Structure 1
Amino acid sequence: MNGWLLTAGIIAAATTLIHATVGGQSVVRPLLGSKMTAEPKRTLHVVWHMVTADLLISSIALLALAFTTQPSTPLVVFIAAQYLAYALVFLIVTLTADWPRPLLQLPQWMLLLPVAVLTLLSTM
């Protein structure tokens, strides 16, 4: 068993659960209730569900890889890169917004970055 991947998979699964429940209430419901025109609203709704599917599939993959005797390094690096990219996007958007305490306004990076780091550590 690979403890780095197991820990990354657990955090990724928790992130998926938080995304689907808390995010669904705080982001998707207001989006769907907004006066935005139908096409961008539905496009953003689809993107939300694409991210949900991606988070779910990658967390399942991390958990499965944790119990594999020789995890596929390209797959592990791909998942790490994916979570690192997500974390960086959140950090860039957050830090370029004119908000007080910006790092706490969109805290998703705090869950995404550890998954990337732990997943990369599993390859060393």
Structure 2
Amino acid sequence: MIRWGAVLGNLGRILIIIGVSMFSCLLWSIAYREGVTVAIVEAASITVITGIVLSRGFKSYDHISYKEGYLLVSLGWVVASVFGSLPFMMSGYLPSFADAFFETVSGFTTTGASV
């Protein structure tokens, strides 16, 4: 039986890490005056807040079953890619969700393909 609290709580932890990582892009945006600072702050904040809500709302277990692990990894890739595409869409750089999602998956998997 899958403990959804374990999966969602740990998924929240993943989102917090991704959101905090997004804030590191903020330094580059400010340093190079790229004009996407607001989009990065908004996307990172949405990601961190969603992660906090999930991790606080559901109990995170340190020990999970194989089924829960497979589900967590699968959902983790999809959710990380969806939230990772937020800066592209919010900045208007890639307004299409499909393009932003493709670019994010390409970046996370280090495939190197680009739109």
TM-score normalised by structure 2 residue count? 0.48
TM-score normalised by structure 1 residue count? 0.46
Higher normalized helix content (fraction of residues): 1
**Taking CA–CA contacts closer than 8 Å with sequence separation of 6 or more, which of the two structures ends up with the larger relative contact order?**
1
Decide which structure has the larger Cα Rg and report it. Answer: 1
